[in-house]
Every structure is written in structure tokens, then in C-alpha cells.
Amino acid sequence: MEVELLIVLIFVACLLGGVYWYAGYATRTGFAKDENQNFIPDAWEEKYSWLFSSKGLIMLAIGIGIGFMLARVIG
């Protein structure tokens, strides 16, 4: 059970990291329009502003979860 939860947390971290990376990549290369130069496509910013505004808290919570599960699996 603990190993499966650890794998899910790592997958979610990679998935969200990929979304954040692609948002920056799409705006830097010109695939997506970004009027205010914050490396978030304007179309995504309107729909998913909560995801980008709380990026630090989301990744912190996932990181704490991964660390906690690693301690339980290894220890």
C-alpha cells in the first residue's frame, strides 16, 4: 500500500512538473500567446489560474508527501 502511494505521488509530481514546464516552453517558443510575460499561456491563465498561483504550495505538499512515504518505505 505504501509503495503504491509513493509511486502515485512521484507520478503526480512528474505530471505537474511537466505541465509547468510546458507552459513556460509554449510561451517562450511562441506556441501560445502570453501578453503579460509571466510564462503562463493566456488561455490557461483564465481557466486554471488556481493551479499556477498555488504552484509552490502544491509542489511543497507533494514533496512532503514523497519524503514521508520514502521514510516509511525505507525505514
Work out the pLDDT band at 75, boundaries 50, 70, 90.
confident
SS3 for the chain is CHHHHHHHHHHHHHHHHHHHHHHHHHHHHCCCCCCCCCCCCHHHHHHCHHHHHCHHHHHHHHHHHHHHHHHHHHC
Mean pLDDT of 47-66: 95
What's the pTM?
0.86
Q: Can you give the pLDDT at residue 1?
A: 87
For 1-25, how does the pLDDT look when each residue is reduced to its tens digit (9 = 90+)? 899 999 999 999 999 999 999 999 9
- What are the extents of the domains in the chain? 2-74
For 20-43, how does the pLDDT look when each residue is reduced to its tens digit (9 = 90+)? 999 999 999 998 999 998 999 999
